[in-house]
């Protein structure tokens, strides 16, 4: 997650419950950032696209394997 912007990282952490007590809805995350749930959906999609990029996939695979 370090390859993402701080905003993208926080959105993914909140949405998927990484380091949180539970996951949050688009609406809940949007309220935290003072934006619409649609904007949160866009930020989430962009962040996931970044993580799926081949150059980042190698880093992610090595992290998951260790």
Note the pTM of the prediction, 2 decimals. 0.78
pLDDT of 57 reads 64
Tell which residue, 16, 3, 5, 15, has the closest CA to residue 56. Answer: 3
Q: What is the dihedral of CA 23, 26, 51, 64, to 10 degrees?
A: 10
Span 2-52, pLDDT tens digits:
789 999 999 999 999 999 899 999 999 999 999 999 999 999 999 999 888
Cα distance between residue 64 and residue 6, in whole Å: 21
pLDDT of 63 reads 67
Q: List the domains of the chain with CATH numbers.
A: 6-65 (1.10.10.10)
Q: Strands, E, within 1-66: which ranges?
A: none
């Amino acid at each position: 997650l370090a390859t993402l912007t701080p905003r993208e990282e926080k959105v993914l952490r909140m949405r998927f419950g990484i380091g949180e007590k539970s996951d949050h809805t688009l609406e809940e995350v949007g309220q935290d950032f003072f934006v619409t749930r649609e904007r949160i959906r866009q930020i989430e999609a962009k962040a996931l696209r970044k993580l799926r990029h081949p150059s980042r996939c190698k880093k992610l695979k090595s992290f998951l394997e260790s």
